[in-house]
Structure 1
Amino acid sequence: MRLKKSIRYSFLLAAVLTVMLSYMLSIYIVGFVGRLIDLTTTKGKVEYVPLLIIVSLVVFMVIFLFLFYMLTQRIIKYFSVLSEGLSIISVGKFDFRVPVRRGDELGELAMNINRMAEQLERQKENEKENEVAKMNLITGVSHDLRTPLTSIIGYLDLLRKNSFQDEKEHDRFVNNAYSKAEQLKKLIDDLFVYTRLTSGDLKLTKQHADMRDLVEQVLFEFIPIAEEHRLTIRSHIEIDEAIVFIDPEQMARILDNLLMNALKYSISPKTVDVHLTSSDSFVYLTIANDGVVITKEQEAKLFERYYKIGQVVDHQNVQIGTGLGLAIARQLAEYQGGHLSLNYKEGHYAFTLKLPFSFK
């Protein structure tokens, strides 16, 4: 059976070899000294025994220390390399890696140091990304909140000064101000829900509900927005009843976020298909539309918080938002035992929400 390389065995082997070589060399040197004494003096050897013992001990210690150092210097130098590496990493240079030169505990220690450095490097990169994302969020939120708020103030100022020509223009100002106020409320609600999700403080009020009824209600409420932006919604509901255990308010938020995402990024002919199907155990809601072509890297980031592809497609008065809609939708789906996924191919987006049936 092959023994695993170990620093303990290395030191033990070095010690054994050192003792053996030191002993043999000291015996040889003491014997040589003894022969010199025989040749140079006529006195008996007994008188020189103390001297020979002292010489043998000194010779043994000198040889032992020299040989032990020679046999263990590579290990000692490697300790210094590891120590220097840790010093470099400790000052924040997390891209530094110590060399892995051995297959024993020191080699494992070196690999662990490198793994630690990699984790710290990733953590540092994540912190940088989060900081940039937070700054982008603050900038985006400031802009997104300021835009509708400025419009509301402008319309209210016109109404306050009676700067309208007739009742029709008065109603248009009121409706526009109300629409901007709704946009403002939606942005604030998204931020509120997101902070509750990230802190783990969101409390759901789950109950048994019919997914078919909920989808039809959300679509009915969304039709005026779709018509305003000349968006066609095609409903394909293929089941009569789909009882699920959900929080209806938060589930409606998921559907609204998906529909608003489709509205913002749909391209001509501006059509959104809504499919509601089921299997033996699950309900599937798919919201599909054609949009701009994106790369694999962009596709992978669509569910990331704060991420935005770009400007909205040919829809006036529709803001791009904070980049939290899809992230919120996925987290809310997972909070309710479901899963939100994307099937993308050559500009065709199909977001599918999968929920388990609730069997009462």
Structure 2
Amino acid sequence: MNLIVRRQFYYNPHSYELWSAGTAISCLAYIIGVSYFELSFTNFYLLSFLIIVQLYFWICNQYEVFEFDQNSFKYRFLFFKWKMRLSSYQVVGICYDKDPTSRFPEKENSECLFLQNEKVRFKILKSNWELEKYEKIKTYLETNFPENNSIKKPFILFKFTSDLTLLFVLFFFFTSILTLGVYLENPKNTKIENFVYIESTLSSDSKYITPKGSNYIRIKLVKYPGYKFMLFENGIKELRKNGYATKFYKFDTIGFLIDKNDYEKSLHSYSDYPYFTSHVKNKKEISIKGIYYKDKYILDQYDYAKGNSRNEKLWFLLPCLFAVIWVISIFSNKIKYTNTKNLTSSKSE
């Protein structure tokens, strides 16, 4: 006799009301962004917000399928399928923080089913289930499989929050698309024809900026008011290595080599940046690739290019940020084993 149990990926009694509200908010944000802030109809952030809201609620309302027979267990969700040979099970008592974000979290006791053969392959956490469905699975296992407590339990066990995990995955996916797009649209420029020379006097003293990320020197020119010309860490190191000063003063005449794309697309708006780059590029900030000062080049574009990455602001760290936050959230939901099994009813979260 087979047992098939279906469970909503993330159950919320007000799911469809929240879906409608989320759709309305994302559509309103899109309309305001396009009409008031004059963003493009194809703006990546606006479109991503619309798609993420729809994907999130659609996935949350899909059903996971748990299928048991006399010697196997199958799990299906959307396009994912997984099967294991099932020979025994364990029932273990567990304890975890009810609210990991609280300073003094309250402990909650529950139990967990381990599906196993030579080792534990799958876990079913009671507090993540409606009590009736959990008890149905437990009764089926007790009737058709032996309980084997001799198989080693997983050393580390975590309590996943399905809705939060889904959000992290969606944000990671879309930021990865943006990052990959920026990377592919910006190959490393080392040829002289990819640079343009500009010259002007400084409208103020240069300023050394030390944010939490990479340090840089900010320079403003009389000829290009409103623009910030920025020399990043690799260029600063190159100047210091060759014994040149990194401070420039008001009314000094200075020449810069800048990327041809910045000259044409930022300073003069002859054309637009590629699609993904336009979403992360501030047109008022121009990266310095070479410096001509006091009748000589004190920063050569070829030397600078040797250590200059495709993107000085390291946009590839953006998806990594979501991955790190997700890992931290997982480790904050660590489960501890207890000696006794807790059989109190627990509704799905």
Task: Give the TM-score normalised by structure 2.
Answer: 0.22
Which is greater in Rg?
A: 1
More helix by share: 1
Q: Kindly indicate which of the two structures has a greater share of residues assigned to strand.
A: 2
Structure-1-length-normalised TM-score? 0.21
